[in-house]
Structure 1
Amino acid sequence: MIIDVHAHWGPWFFTMDVAGANLAAMDRYGIGLSIVSATEAVIYDAPAGNRALARWLATTERHLGYVTVNPRRQADAERDLREHLPTGKFAGVKIHTDYTGSPVSSPQTREALAMVAEAGVPALVHTWGATVLDLAEACADTPGLRVIAGHMGADGYPYAIEAANACDRLYLEPCYSHAPAGRVARVAAAVDRTRLLFGTDSTLIDPASAFGAVAAAGLDAETAELVAWRNAVRLFDLDITA
């Protein structure tokens, strides 16, 4: 069993054939479940993208969704959380700090994260470089909040180690468009292995990148299983057994 906690559904804003790409990639790499955000919701219109994703999720058993939240549109976010989370097809919240121009340290994103904590679901938050430290601070300051540092800081993965060790409700997932040698191994050796997840950034990036990075880390069998699916099952409270 493999659970991909960072994936996408829908076309991107550049030329790319995504018809069937998500399921085909899942089958190719043995991914049993993907948790996806709607690209429309992430890059353009959160409510419209969330509604489209909700309709599509009703047709599939191998996907769950993220309700995408734009921190600058709090009323939309509150309404979408009320509408979509009770359906059982959405497992968490997605916040992309760059596309919305809302840094983790901004009051808007802090308020959005408080909203997520109240809803009782995890949030996947885009992090890059030292911004993962801001996410750890926000998590520590917000009771009950559980966050996944998307890309685990990308090239700033040493900051991700510091962030994960500063807040025990912060999780890391590795997807990244580059593959620095030793990145996943260094993180896995330095943080609590129960807070490591698997993410690919599919369909934006082929899952081969994340698979290769994790394979190169040489994780022991128990840790590899935790990363592949067990940690995600616990974090998202999924009814899944191997």
Structure 2
Amino acid sequence: MIIDVHAHWGPWFFTMDVAGLSLAAMDRYGIDVSIVSATEAVIYDAPAGNRALAGFLATPTAARLYGYVTINPRRLAEGERDLRELLPTGRFVGVKIHTDYTGSPIPRLREALALVAEAGCPALVHTWGASVLDLAQVCLDTPGLRVIAGHMGADGHRYAIEAASGCDRLYLEPCYSHAPAGRIAEVVAGVDPRRLLFGTDSTLIDPASAYGAMAAADLDPETAELIAWRNAADLFDIPLG
């Protein structure tokens, strides 16, 4: 069983054909469930992208997918409306916030993440470098909030270890466009394995990158199972079987 907690649906603005490939990629790599955000929602128009994704998730083709409600922290009224409308469908299980595309550094996400905490679902937040420490602090300051550090800080994975050690509601997801030697093994050695998740950044990045990084870490079977699906199933309350 594999659950990918960081995937996307819809075309990117790059010159490549990735629209609709998420299911093909899942089949190729044996991914059973993916949690996806709409590319349109992340990079351009959150409400329009969220509704396009909702339409797709309502079709039989999307049975193996769940959605993130993407929130633009600069448009909180739209985000609050989308949460009220889409979470009750049962097809959306969390929130996605991209700090770079919205020009919203993590310290400015407090109001948006307070909405997430009130909604009772986890949030996947883009982190890079030391920003993962800011995310941990906002999480500590927001009762009930559960957050996933997308890319676990990327080249700042040592900051991610520090952040997760200080906040037991912060989860780490490792996808990254580079594959530094020993990165995954170092994080696994320094963090409670119950707070580690698997993500690929598909369809932006081929899942082979995440698979290779995990394989190189040479994880013990129990830890590998926790990361592959058990932790995600618990965090997102995903029914299995």
Structure 2 SS opposite 1:198: coil
CA distance in 1: counterparts of 2:92 and 2:10, whole angstroms: 16
Partner of 1:97: 99
Return the alpha-carbon distance in structure 2 between the equivalents of residues 235 and 120 of structure 1.
11
* Code of the aligned partner of 1:143: P
Match of 1:84 in 2: 86
Cα deviation, residue 20, structure 1: 3.5
CA distance in 2, matches of 1:188, 1:165: 12
Per-residue deviation at 1:18? 1.7
Corresponding residue to 1:70 among 72, 77, 93: 72
Q: TM-score normalised to the size of structure 1?
A: 0.98
* Amino acid across the alignment from 2:80: E
The residue identity in structure 1 corresponding to 2:55 is R
Name the CA distance, whole Å, in 2 between partners of 1:96 and 1:20. 21
How does 1:124-139 map onto structure 2 within 5 Å? 124-139=124-139
Instruction: Within 5 Å, give how 1:1-242 maps onto structure 2.
Output: 1-59=1-59, 60-106=62-108, 109-241=109-241
Deviation at 1:19, TM superposition (A): 3.9
SS in 2 for 1:105: helix
RMSD: 0.6
Hey, what's the Cα distance between the residues in 2 that align with 1:163 and 1:240? 30
Q: Deviations over 1:157-190 (max 9, x none)?
A: 0000000001000000110000000000000000
CA distance in 2: counterparts of 1:153 and 1:140, whole angstroms: 18
Q: Contact conserved, 2:12 with 2:19, CA < 8 A, in 1?
A: no
Secondary structure in 2 matching 1:93: strand
Question: Percent identity between the aligned chains?
Answer: 80
Secondary structure of 2:47 counterpart: helix
Aligned residues: 239
Shift of 1:16: 1.4
In structure 1, what is the Cα distance between the partners aligned to 2:174 and 2:58?
28
Following superposition, the deviation at residue 240 of structure 1 comes to 1.3
Deviation beyond 4 Å, 4+ runs, structure 1? none
What is the distance in 1 between the residues matched to 2:138 and 2:19?
37
**One-letter amino acid matched to 2:25:** A
Give the deviation of 1:87 after TM superposition.
Answer: 0.2
The superposition leaves residues 54-95 of structure 1 with CA deviations (integer Å, 9 ceiling, x where unpaired) of 000111101000000000001000100000000000010000
Gaps of 5+ in 2: none
Distance 2:20 2:55 in 1: 16
Could you say what secondary structure the match of 1:34 adopts?
strand
Q: TM-score, normalized by length of structure 2?
A: 0.98
Deviation digits for residues 164-217 of structure 1 (CA, Å, limit 9, x no counterpart)? 001000000110000000000000000000000000000000000000001100
Q: What amino acid sits opposite 1:122 in the alignment?
A: P
Structure 1 unaligned residues grouped into runs of 5+? none
